[in-house]
Structures are given as structure tokens and as C-alpha cells.
Amino acid sequence: MAIAECLQELKKTGKVDQDKPTLKRYSKDHSYHHPMEPLCVFTCQNENDIQTCLRICNKYKVPVIPTAGKTSLEGHTIPESSNVVIIDTSEMDKIVAINEKDLDCIVQPGVNWMELGERLEKLGLFFPPDPGASAMIGGMCGTNCSGTHAWRVVLADGTVVKTRRRPNKSSAGYDLTRLFVGSEGTLGIVSEATLRLRRLPRFHAVIFSQFKTLQDAANTVAQVVQEGILLNRMELLDDFSMKAINLANKSSYGELNSLLFECAGFSEVQIRDQLEALEKITSGHHCVLFEKESGAQSAKLWNIRKAAYFASKALRPEIDSHILTTDCAVPISHLCEMLTATRIDLSNSGLVASIVAHAGDGNFHVFLQVDITNEKEVQAAEAFRLRNATLALKFDGTCTGEHGIGIGKRELLVEEVGHETVELMRRIKKQLDPNAILNPGKVFELYPKAKL
């Protein structure tokens, strides 16, 4: 049997683990999708190991799933069947080089971004993206995280391709870098990535502002974007988020739609300038609170945003809810309408949730509080997600701003970009992975079932 022979050959490498606790640990991620234990876990220490594993699995046509931090929110690393080999790159955790003068670094897929951040901070640098705390670079590449550039990629047959060199810009051939980044492990496994860094600004300030209505907050966002004010971050927390934070942390913020702005710059003058501009804009939109902190104190205010995700569980104190997260994005001009419709839908469905948004990008997350043991509730949540994503598409948006397609949004992908475009993705996939071993079933089905 091909599976048995494959396993036997893999085991000869001494890198295979089939212990029950291991298989259980790798059977799930941070999504709600059903866990499925893999056949085994193959742990890689270096690129050669990835090549070895792929060559063997490709020979026997046994599917593989690459994983690093196991923090996927869309089921990316959950096997669809039990005859799947997990390729674990989390031990490939070297920071290969930090090129300070060029503002880039070269890292392996198992590098944790927060640990990278600590190392970079000592050099006065930082890597801008802000995913979940345990996220690793491999997964960040896989879900199109900005600033991540594929560098060395191992293809299904074990070939290594280097997609680019290290200049700041290049027009040399096809942008394979961007093809692999965001391919959710279905086209190749990144064995080394370059990351674009930035100089850590010396001056910071955070503003916490609150508004009478969601419309006011959204209009503020729109004006900030349209006036071209360059902020580090701009986050929206809806009134339910503030309620949740108060419940969880025993704070007493107004339960209002709120905006958090993070200003950063290389001079105090820059910060003052941004603060003044924001004060002016917010005051034109029924701002009822404008609290600002500078320097080291600014983290105190930003913690409000950091608290939002886990605090959302406090909205349903009676159960240990699972947080089911959505990830739509719409053009800024539609953000207010979208968020308003979202809140109405939640209310009508009786679903409990808070909403946060990366406001400047029009990307928002609904943190649904779901009793995962209650099938009806799970279905209601799923139905909401589908309605919400469908509405985002009507606004010319996307069903996934950041987290990727994974398992649960394959049909939405077809609706978003059309059959022809998904068929094109299939053709590319079949060319790069003829035996379809790389994370099968994710992003799209290779052989979609005919609809009856």
C-alpha cells in the first residue's frame, strides 16, 4: 500500500512522530473546523528535510500539510483525511540575517514574529504586521501577510526555487514571490523568507476617541484616509467591544463606538502635527472623548485594543464560548454601511458578538461567541458568516482581508473572483503540483463536485 510504504520510508529519516498526543495536537488549529488527526508529523530542521519529505510523499502521492505556528483561523493546517503527513517547520527558527542598512532580514519559517520583534527592537527596527501572538513567519507568508516575501520555496517534487534577490524593487520576470505568498501552502513550502523592515519610530502617541454613533466613527475614518494622514494604526472597536472590555477588565469606558489611533514619527513635531489634525477631524464628527497619551504611556491606551479579542468572551459569561472570527474587507466608502448592516444582522440572528476593524483598510472582524457543542448555534454562526461575506462582496469587497480561504470559504472565493479565475488558479496548481499533494482541498477544490 502506498501509504504504508511512504510511512516506512519517512520513518527511516528518524524525523517522524506518530505518538497519540502529537497527532491530537496537530489535528486542529484556531478555527472551528473539525479536528482530524494526521498520519504522522515530520519535523524539519532545515530545507533539506523539507525536500526529503516532499520527495518521498510526492513519489507515493501522499498529501502533506506544511505548518509552523498552528495558529490558522481558517483550517489551513487541518487534514481533510487521516492519510496526511504534517510537515512541521516550527523548529526552523533561525534568523538567518538582519541587514540593518537595507531594512530587511532573512528568516526561516519557524521564526515567531514577536521574538523577531524583540530582536529587531534592539537594533531600532521593527516588522510592521501584527498577527496573533503565536504566529510564525511560515504561516504569515502563506496568508499573504504584507512585507513577507517568499525567498526560497520548496516545490512538491522537492525542487528549490529562489524567487528573487534582495533589491528594494525588481521587475525581473514573473512575480513568483507574490504567487507563493498567500497560496496557503498549496503551491510550495517557504523555507526562507525576506521581510521588509522599518525603522522604529522614536516618538509615539495613542489617541482613544469615542463617538455618539457608528456613522460618526466611520466618517472619521474616511476623512483621515482621504486627507492622507499617515498613521501607524487606526482601529475601530464597536460598542459591544467596549462593553466586553469593561466586563472582562472591570473598566468603565463608555460603551460607545470607538477609534484608536497610533501616531508614530521621528520627531515630536510630527506627532504633535498628527495629534492636532486628528483632534480637528474627530471634533467634526461628534467625538465625545479624545484621550491621548504619548511616549511610554501610550501603550496603556493601546492595551484597550489588545484586550478586545479575548475580552469578547465576557459577552457570554455563562459558557466558555469559542470565538469564531470573520475577516471581510470592503472599500472604505462602504465601511459604515457594512458595519451597520452587520450589527443589524447579528441582532436579528440573536448572535452575540463584538466587532473590531483595521479601519483604514476597511477590514473588520466579527468575534462571534459560539457554544461549539450546540449544533444549531454553530449553524447559525456559519449562516451569518456566509451572509456577511456575501454582503461584503456586494460592496465590491472580499470575504477575506487577511486570514485566507482555508476550508470554509472556498465557495465564496468562486463568488468573489469568478469561476474562470478560480479555474486559472487550478491550472497553476496542477502545473506546480501535478500529484496534488500540497495541502489538498484548501483555497479551492481541485475537482469540484458538480452541483445537482
Q: Which stretch binds its own copies (CB under 8 A): 112-120, 171-179, 318-326, 340-348?
A: 171-179
| CB nearer to its own copies: pick between 219 and 321 | 219
- The binder of its own copies chosen from 137, 339, 405, 438 (CB under 8 A): 405
Q: Which amino acid is at 39?
A: L
For 259, list phi and psi in degrees, rounded to 5.
Answer: -125, 135
**Binding to its own copies (CB under 8 A): which residues in 318-347?**
327, 329-333
Distance in Å from the first CA to the final CA of the chain: 34
Shortest separation between residue 376's beta carbon and its own copies, angstroms: 29
Binding of residue 222 to its own copies (CB under 8 A): yes
Binding mask 414-433 for its own copies (x = CB under 8 A): --xxx-xxx-xx-xx-xxx-
Binding of residue 228 to its own copies (CB under 8 A): yes
Rounded Cα–Cα distance for residues 452 and 450 (Å)? 6
| CB nearer to its own copies: pick between 267 and 297 | 267
| CB nearer to its own copies: pick between 98 and 242 | 98
Size of the site for its own copies (CB under 8 A): 90
Q: Which stretch binds its own copies (CB under 8 A): 30-38, 76-84, 130-138, 395-403?
A: 395-403
- The binder of its own copies chosen from 182, 378, 380, 411 (CB under 8 A): 182
- The binder of its own copies chosen from 31, 258, 325, 363 (CB under 8 A): 363
Binding of residue 14 to its own copies (CB under 8 A): no
| CB nearer to its own copies: pick between 109 and 404 | 404
- The binder of its own copies chosen from 3, 179, 275, 407 (CB under 8 A): 179
For 209, list phi and psi in degrees, rounded to 5.
Answer: -125, 150
For 61, list phi and psi in degrees, rounded to 5.
Answer: 60, 40
Binding of residue 226 to its own copies (CB under 8 A): yes
Binding of residue 397 to its own copies (CB under 8 A): yes
Sheet of 287-294, strand order: 287-294, 203-211, 258-265, 233-237, 353-358, 363-370, 322-325
Binding of residue 351 to its own copies (CB under 8 A): no
- The binder of its own copies chosen from 1, 4, 118, 168 (CB under 8 A): 168
Binding of residue 233 to its own copies (CB under 8 A): no
Distances (CA, A) of 69 to 9, 91, 121, 224, 407: 26, 10, 22, 35, 18
Shortest separation between residue 405's beta carbon and its own copies, angstroms: 6
Binding of residue 272 to its own copies (CB under 8 A): yes
Binding of residue 21 to its own copies (CB under 8 A): no
**CA-based nearest residue to 233, from 165, 285, 298:** 298
- The binder of its own copies chosen from 102, 130, 293, 411 (CB under 8 A): 102
Binding of residue 294 to its own copies (CB under 8 A): no
Q: Which stretch binds its own copies (CB under 8 A): 108-116, 163-171, 248-256, 316-324?
A: 163-171
**Binding to its own copies (CB under 8 A): which residues in 71-100?**
99-100
| CB nearer to its own copies: pick between 233 and 316 | 233
| CB nearer to its own copies: pick between 38 and 397 | 397
Shortest separation between residue 200's beta carbon and its own copies, angstroms: 8
Binding of residue 201 to its own copies (CB under 8 A): yes
**CA-based nearest residue to 142, from 76, 75, 49:** 76
- The binder of its own copies chosen from 199, 251, 299, 344 (CB under 8 A): 199
Q: Which stretch binds its own copies (CB under 8 A): 88-96, 154-162, 232-240, 287-295?
A: 154-162
